[in-house]
Each structure stands twice: as structure tokens, then as C-alpha cells.
Structure 1
Amino acid sequence: MNFSEFNIDPKLIEKLNELSITEPTAVQAKSMPLIAENKNIMFQSETGTGKTFAYLLPLLTRLMATENPGRNVRLMIVSPTYELASQIKGQVQAISDIKCCLLIGGAPIARQIDMLKEKPEVVIGGPARLLELIHLKKLKADAIETLVLDEADRLLSKELRDDTEGLLERLPVKVQLVGNSATVSDYTRTILQKARDGLSKGSTEENRIQLITLPMEDVLRKRITHWAIFAERRDKIDTLRSFINAVKPEKLLVFTGRNDQIENITSKLQYKNIECASLSSKTDKKDRKAAIDRFRSGKIKVLITTDLASRGLDIPGITHVVQMDLPDREDFFIHRSGRTARAGNTGINCVIGDVFEMQNYAKLEKKLKLKVYPKMLYKGELLDPNDLIEE
């Protein structure tokens, strides 16, 4: 297959070729025709399978094919994190000249109001800031044709649900709703269907949200190798440092569930001359962008972050993921792990855990049908414990 078979605009295809993207992925082939037909859909596919282009290509093709004399906002893309929103904007700009702007919280709203005066056709941002700009009558929602909820399950989580639902209530009756995520719960589907029906004051076949699921490519099991390293809580950062020195990862993403540990991990690694950067909810937007850009370009090889970056962040070439704790929710574990082994590559996911976390990791191994390999650090090397016993 090629993209021309899906009636994607030739200019977009030309830009894709420059990016060495010549064939649609499975999720793109299945979703693009339905999106082009203006269907309401929710598509579920594993991380790294091309979900962003699955909706961008048909929607940008539509924008390029139809006139917009009023230069209104016609496409709104909602994201749970600044990093993902910024990444989506970058992908729009990489393949088209369509004017778009980023509208996210934590950045000066006055500057964003000025950007809206430049008449973008596409707006990308978080639900709270988008809703705020609509309330202020600075962002007109009347002409929006399609609303995309990127990482829909996260957008309907407890902390973001009210803003997301408030945004949905202010859209035109005939708006097309497109959602995607690596994991889609029944809860997410139910909430979105109720919101879509509410716009039209009733349930109709036209309003029905179709669920598109793709067969598991088993990225988690087939392309990611899972390791476990035991460490007492007080020794975890030293273990991470030893791991980095032993493995010498090309690009390593380190996760911790604790905001208060970000600075501690970063400063201790830097003290040992390991160049790294960090991200957390408290990091200034400018500093967050700078850290990601340095990591993406390879200027630094280690990035430490909380789970804010585990959703949708697509940085090429991440060879290793280290989880400094085991998250309570298995979908967080899956999304963390899925930052490596993207676009057909392989990768390593390693959990550094104490006794309690290792017990839970064993349960998760069985539940997700993984094969976890225990490892230990000895004299500067990463070894299989059995090899050490044999010696």
C-alpha cells in the first residue's frame, strides 16, 4: 500500500517521502478512510504505531481541499501534556504549511491571544487553556469541523475530565469526534459517546463512535526486553548510576513516580559527571522544551522524568527505559515501557525495585505474559545472577 491509495494530498505525500515514510502503518490504513468519510471514531493501537499521522493526514488533506474564506479554526487537537501537544504541532509543520498554533497552560495567555489573531486553521493544546480561551471569546469554536482527543483515556482521567467534557459541550452540533489511545477503557468510550450524543440532544446512528482496534503487534513482548534489578530504596540512585556506567545507553529515559525525587536523581547523577536533564510538572515550559530538544538531538543521553512524559512522547532512538519504581497502574507501566522500541526498533525496559516492587513485578510479568530477566551489577558489569553463581 501507499498513501496515494487513501487519497492523501500529493503535497503531504511528498513531505512524508522526505521523512522516509512511504507506506501506511496498519492503524493508518484502517483509520484514515473512516476519518476521511467524517465518521466519529476511537482507534486503539500500541505505542509507536503511527497514531498521530493516522488522523493528521486525512484531516489536513480535507483542510487543503476546501476553502476557508473566513480563515476560521477548523481543526482542534486536544492533548493531555505540553510535550505531546508540542510534538503534534511539529508533525503538522513537518508535512504542511497550514497555519497552526499551540495553546497550552503555564504559558502567557496574552501571547496566545495574539497568535489567534493570525487566524490559524489548526489549534493544538490542553483542555483547560482551550476552554479558557473559548470562555474569553478569543477562540471561536463555531467553525470547528473536527475535534481530536489524542490520548483520550488520559484526557478523561480524574484530573482532566471536567475540562475535557466542558470543551466538548461548547463545540458545534455536527463536529466530528476522533479519539485515540494505546489503551481504551469502556469508561472512556461511554463518556465520549454520552458527550457526542449530548451535542445533538439524542443518540443517532450518525453520532455513533466506532471503535477501531488493531491486533496487538506484541511490541511489549516481542520487541522490548524486560530486566529487573533489585535495590533497596536508599540505594536506587547509586544503582542507576552503576547501570548507566555499565550499559552506556545510547539514549536513556528514566521514570520516577515521585516529583520530589526528580531533582535528587538529577543532582546526584550530575555530581558523578553523568550529563543529564530532568522534567517534572514544576519545570518551566521553556526549560522543559530545552531539555527535550537536547535529549532528542543527542546532546545529552539521559533524561529523568515523571509520568507526564510517558504519554505520547515520541523521541527517536530511545534504547533504554529505566523505571525507578513500579507504578500502581499497569497502563502506566505499558506507556513507560513503550517509549522504547518505536518504529520497528527494539529496546530495553528495566525496573529498579525493592523487595515489595519485585514481588509486584513478578505478578505483572505473569499478568502481561512477559519474560523478565533478573540482572545484577558486579564489578562494573551488568550480569545475569546465574552466570555469577556458575563462576
Structure 2
Amino acid sequence: MSKATNLNQLGWKPVQIPDKLDDFEGLLELEELDGVEVKYESAGKLKMPVYELVKPDTDAKKSAEEKTDRKEAKQNSNLKRKQSPESQETNLKKKQGKKSKKNKAERQLKSETGGDDAEEIEFTGFGSEDDSDSTTQKSHSSASGNEFQALEDEDEANAVDVSKWSNIPLSAAILGRLSKLGFSAPTHIQELVLPVAMAGSDVIGKAETGSGKTLAFGIPILEHCLRNINKGIQALIMAPTRELAQQIYNHLEQCNPSTDIHIVTVTGGLAIQKQQRLLAKKPSIVIGTPGRLWSVISSQGFDEEFKNVKMLVLDEADRLLQKNHFEELHNIIDLLGNPKQTNRQTFIFSATFDAHLQENLRKKQLIDGNDKQSMGYLLKQIHFLGRPEFLDANPETSVATKVTEGLVECIPSQKDLYLYYFLLRYPGKTIVFANGVEDVKRVTPLLKELGVKAHSLYAQMEQKKRLQALERFKSEKDAILIATDVAARGIDIPSVKHVIHYHVPHTADMYIHRSGRTARGTEQGLAILMCGPKELNQLKKLLYRLKRNLDELTTFPVDVELLGRFQPRVDLGHKIVDLMRQDGRLGREEAWLKAAAEELGLESSDDSSDEDGGHSKKQVSATQRHQKLRVLRSELREYLNEEIRVGFSSRYLTSGLVNMADKLVKGEQHKTLIGLDTQEAIDVLKRKKKAKPQH
């Protein structure tokens, strides 16, 4: 049955808006209704809508639902009888995996934004689900009232024994999170720091990269916030780079035992107005970079909120000493006030310390330092609650013990050749560190022209492009990242096989941080240092600071014959990149001259033609460059399409130095270098190191 009525007489009901959605961007009110059928009646040439209230036939509806349920149950029963137990288990895991990813992303969105600013979060777990699938899951979950059961079952299945954490006074909530995350035992730095931190003491910690120091200071912060819910900003964590700040956020969010503990990041590259709104909601933990955080605090008057901070962390403190960070950091520390008045606890962490300062800290001598760019000066400016405990988890070595180090000696003009040789001969996820932005901008397009998946990362890039480069590097197999030292910290990407120092680093601590991007967790890693004759003195200074000798670095073996065969490719690549860069520079210059001419009201010379009505000289020059570029790329494609065969006859596969037929059958041959075995670079260097005579 239905009854015609007009639009305003329908049974509109106001929509209940959650309290957390307090920023409507102009939205005033929402209303909804159901049980309305829309029909159209002719009125001359127009069709007018007629709204009719429909009385639901509950009995018919109930009968139809029961019939549908019986049909679905029968289909499911037949399907289960046909499936083996193994396939049923596989399908269950797939469904649980989808729900787990979706629920995790929803929790992350809720905890960071409180309902708004969703565009700042980049999700990776929704890509495999289409709209119809997610809608079906949502309706099914609402009907059953048990939407989190799959996630809970999966967490319980992955839980591990955490009895090895018993010596540390942790709450059941934190232990539960550690168990579900698979952290069965604390790392060395966590064993040192957690008992001291939980007792309320200040900590100065030294630990190699990838040692678990984030949770060493993160767990005490989460424990404190768990006891002080909704009491404003309780902890402030300072990091030198956006990537490191985001990495800390991810780790703390994974271990977060309560949805009432809100964590936000305040870094450059994101909308400052949204970050101001996030801080106005008084989150429990703030993670920020000094420049952006001080800008937000000083412009919006958040002074009082930060004066109540109970825990302060300076992560990668040596990098925070840089000139472009220290002034803002000093202002923030002054704003926090005297810790003896606020009872504030301080944690300072770094992978490296000056040898003299490290010795003084170990002997518990007074912290001193007059150089504003030194760690001693920074520690001198910080007012600790008491005498800080110096905890050194890596007293003997500097570079992580799981990193195997090697050396490649070559002249500067051949570094690209040696780099291309290594990347092609030993494929794997690799980070190449250069000292300058211009080198990154030159090497990246060169490798792309040579058919290598290469992405770039440096400080001047837009935040969106930086995130895109990191995401692609993570997701692509055997991808290459060409980066400056901005990627030396906070890039916790698993399965990075190789780190290549394209240039000798300026400082010992930067060498340590760069090398620490590989061998994360339980994995092994390889760090190769490329050194030219002019960099030899710098290398000796570097090794002196590391308390190492030059003969301790094993030279990485290189196939000279293959280098010669790669040389024409690299030479063509150089010519192509030089033309591209020249074209780009000329284009920028011409655009600047044209803009300047228009500003002065002059006629641009680019618009002029010769007497015969032809193109201008600049246009002809650009056309010639483009033609030359096409020719060079065509030549390079011929080289890249040419198969490289090593050590065997193409006519007789079983002849020569290598029985190619046997290799083909066993699948042991290299993917692109036919006739060579697939080898891991780290194994090659270890064998060379083992065979090296001992002096």
C-alpha cells in the first residue's frame, strides 16, 4: 500500500552526527528517510515527481529473507563438501587478511584524525577489495554483531610467548600487543633502557640502526599515556626528518594498546592548518620535526599545551644538531621549561657519539661542550630531571655486525659503469647514496635510460613525490633508490640487500647510518663503498674515526670483461642524459628570458623568424637536439636488446667453459647475463674475504 504526499510532509529524521566530527566545513544539518517510492506523472511536456509513502509488508519481507537464507546455507554447505580442509583454511585466511587490513586502516584513521583530515592518511590495505565486497562484509558484520571476531582470531593465532619480558614491569595491555606483534623477547637496547626508563630516570642511549630503539623509548611513553588518558599532550618526540617521524608513528601505532591514546605527526610537506586542528584536540603523543613544529606552536599559541609535557625524546640527536634544525629545537626546549618543575623525563638516542663525549658519559663525568654543532653542547643545554643514565648497546663496533662491508676502487668517470655493472650482475633491492642532489638528478635518469628501475629521493622534493618514491621502492622487486643522506635515517624497509656509497660520506656517523639501511631485523646486508683516487684521504679520515684500517675493507671482485661489454651502453646513456639536461637548462633559460621580456613590454626574440620565413636559430637548435636524442636512444635500444652470452657457445650449449644446457635445466642461469650463475653479492664478498691472506 502507498499514499501520495508532497516532499515536505515526508517522515524526515535527523541524522545523529558523532561528536568527534566537529569540523563540518560549512555543513549544518543532515536528515534521512526511508519507505518512500518516487513516481513521475505527466504534466504537459514535463514530468512531475510524486512521492508515495510505502507501507512495508513485513510478513512477505520476512518470508523472502528466510527463503534467501536457506538458499545461501544450502549453497555454502555444498561448497564446503566439495572443498578440501586445506582449501577451506586458505579461503578463511584470505578473508581474515582482508578484514585485518581494513580494520587496521580504520583504527589508524580514527586514532590520528579523530574523524576528519582523512586525506592525510595514505592507505595500502583497501586495494584488493571492490565496493560490492566491502558492502557485503559491512552488512554481514552488522547483522551478526561480531565484526571483529576474524581479527581477534587471527591475532590469537599469531600471538607468541612473552615470558622473556617478565623482568620489565609492563602492563598486561602492552604485553598483549607485544605478543600479537610477535615480539617474544626484548632486544639488547630494550633490555638496557626499559628498566631504567620505567623507573623514571633520564636516558642517553647509543644503539646501532635497526636495533629496536624506537620501542625502547616508545613503550615507556605508551605505559605513561595508558595511566593518563585524556590529560593533554603527555609526550613529545623530535626527529630530524619527515620519514623518521612517520616511521616512529607507525611503530608506536602498532604497539598502541588503547584507541584513547591518540598520536599525531607534525612535519613539513602537509597542510599546516590541519596540523593545527589536530594539536587543538590535545593528542596524547606528538611526533614532529623541529622546523614545522615550532612554526605551528609559535603561530597558534600552543605554549600552554606543551608546558605540561611529561616525556621528551630526541631521536637521532646528532642530526638534530644541524644548523637548520638547532635554533627551532632550542626554542622548543626552552618552551618546555624546567623538568624539575614539571617532572619531565628525557630520552636522547643516537647511533653515534663523539669518542671523547662517549668516554665522559661512560665515566659519568659532567657533560661539557662549547661547540654549538657538537652533541656535548646540546646535552649541556638540556636540563635533565636528574643525572642521566648512559646506556651503550653497541660499545665495540659502529656498523651493525650483520652488515658485510666492501670496497670498489675506480676513477670518478667510471663510477656509473661500475654501478651499472653491480646492479645488473647482482639484482636486489638497493639504496645508492650520493653526497649531492645534482648527482642524484643525473644518476637516476641515466639508470632509467639503461633499463634499471630507479627512483630518486632528496630533501628538495615535494612531500607527495617523496612518499610516492618510497612506496614504489618498497613495492617493486629489485628496485633501486638513488638518494641523498635524507634517506639515511628513518627508512625502515625490509629486504634491502645492498647499500652502495656512491661517494665517500663526509662523516663517520653518516656512513654508519647509511650502512644501517640494510641488514634490518634478522637479515644480512652488504655495504659497498665506491672510492676514487681523490677521495682516498677522505676515506682514511673516515676509517680513522671508525677506528678501522684500510686493509680491513675487502675489495669487491669485478669481471673486467663484462665491464668492457657494458661500456658502450653507459657511454650512450651519458650522451642521452647530457642532452636531456642541456635541453632542460635551455628551456628554463628561454622561459625566464621570455617572462622578463613580457614584464618589460618587449617583444620576445623567440617569436622572430629569419628573412625566409623559417624557424629561429633556437628552434632549429632544439629540433636538432631532439633528432639527435632519438638517434642515440635507438642505438641504446639495440645494445639493450642484445643478449650478453658469457663462457659458452650459442650453437653448442654443452660445449665451452659452462654446460649451458645443464644450467638451463636446473634454473641456475642469470636472468639477463646468459651463461653466468645467479649469485648473491654478499656471498661473493664473503668468499673473497675468507680467502684473503691474514697479516
TM-score, length-scaled by structure 2: 0.51
Query: AA paired with 1:261?
Result: D
Deviations 1:40-77 (A, max 9, x none): 21111112211111000111011112343xx4111110
2:487 maps to which residue? 309
* Cα deviation, residue 360, structure 1: 4.0
Greater helix fraction, Structure 1 or Structure 2: 2
* Cα deviation, residue 163, structure 1: 1.4
Contact persistence 1:243–1:377 (CA under 8 A) = no
Confirm whether residue 146 of structure 1 aligns to residue 311 of structure 2: yes
Deviations 1:358-377 (A, max 9, x none): 45435645653362121324
Confirm whether residue 162 of structure 1 aligns to residue 348 of structure 2: no
Confirm whether residue 180 of structure 1 aligns to residue 341 of structure 2: no
* Cα deviation, residue 318, structure 1: 1.4
Query: AA paired with 2:492?
Result: D
For these two proteins, the number of residue pairs brought into alignment is 376
Q: Which runs of 5+ in 2 are unaligned?
A: 1-162, 358-368, 563-675, 690-695
TM-aligned CA distance change 1:50 to 1:164, over 3 Å: same
Greater Cα shift, 146-155 or 207-216? 207-216
Deviations 1:144-175 (A, max 9, x none): 11110001111123332211111100004222
Query: AA paired with 2:193?
Result: S
Contact persistence 2:276–2:300 (CA under 8 A) = no
1:373 maps to which residue? 554
Query: In 2, Cα distance between the equivalents of 1:39 and 1:126?
Result: 25
Contact persistence 2:402–2:524 (CA under 8 A) = yes
> What does 1:235-254 correspond to in 2, within 5 Å?
235-249=414-428, 251-254=429-432
Contact persistence 1:269–1:275 (CA under 8 A) = yes
Confirm whether residue 195 of structure 1 aligns to residue 195 of structure 2: no
Percent of residue pairs bearing the same amino acid type: 28
Query: AA paired with 2:186?
Result: P
Query: In 1, Cα distance between the equivalents of 2:474 and 2:164?
Result: 29
TM-aligned CA distance change 1:95 to 1:264, over 3 Å: same
Contact persistence 1:277–1:300 (CA under 8 A) = no
* Cα deviation, residue 183, structure 1: 1.0
Query: In 1, Cα distance between the equivalents of 2:477 and 2:427?
Result: 15
Greater strand fraction, Structure 1 or Structure 2: 1
Query: In 2, Cα distance between the equivalents of 1:224 and 1:242?
Result: 21
2:98 maps to which residue? none
Query: In 1, Cα distance between the equivalents of 2:411 and 2:350?
Result: 35
Query: In 2, Cα distance between the equivalents of 1:219 and 1:298?
Result: 30
SS at match of 1:136: helix
1:123 maps to which residue? 286
Deviations 1:178-230 (A, max 9, x none): 11000123355533443333xxxxxx8x4323222224364737422222222
Contact persistence 2:204–2:389 (CA under 8 A) = yes
Query: AA paired with 1:346?
Result: Q
Query: In 2, Cα distance between the equivalents of 1:171 and 1:363?
Result: 39
Query: In 1, Cα distance between the equivalents of 2:166 and 2:276?
Result: 37
Contact persistence 2:242–2:289 (CA under 8 A) = yes
Query: AA paired with 2:501?
Result: Q
Contact persistence 2:497–2:518 (CA under 8 A) = yes
> What does 1:1-391 correspond to in 2, within 5 Å?
2-68=164-230, 71-96=231-256, 97=259, 98-139=261-302, 140-174=305-339, 175-185=344-354, 186=357, 187=369, 190-197=376-383, 206-216=385-395, 218=397, 220=399, 222-249=401-428, 251-299=429-477, 301-358=479-536, 360-361=538-539, 364-365=542-543, 368-369=547-548, 371-375=552-556, 376-380=558-562
TM-aligned CA distance change 1:17 to 1:138, over 3 Å: farther
Deviations 1:129-152 (A, max 9, x none): 111222123532122111100011
Q: Which runs of 5+ in 1 are unaligned?
A: 198-203
Query: In 1, Cα distance between the equivalents of 2:465 and 2:205?
Result: 33
Query: In 2, Cα distance between the equivalents of 1:190 and 1:363?
Result: 22
TM-score, length-scaled by structure 1: 0.88
- The structure that has the greater radius of gyration is 2
* Cα deviation, residue 78, structure 1: 0.4
Query: In 2, Cα distance between the equivalents of 1:100 and 1:141?
Result: 15
TM-aligned CA distance change 1:363 to 1:157, over 3 Å: closer
Greater Cα shift, 91-100 or 77-86? 91-100
Query: In 2, Cα distance between the equivalents of 1:359 and 1:84?
Result: 32
Query: In 1, Cα distance between the equivalents of 2:420 and 2:167?
Result: 50
Contact persistence 1:44–1:184 (CA under 8 A) = yes
Query: In 1, Cα distance between the equivalents of 2:306 and 2:468?
Result: 32
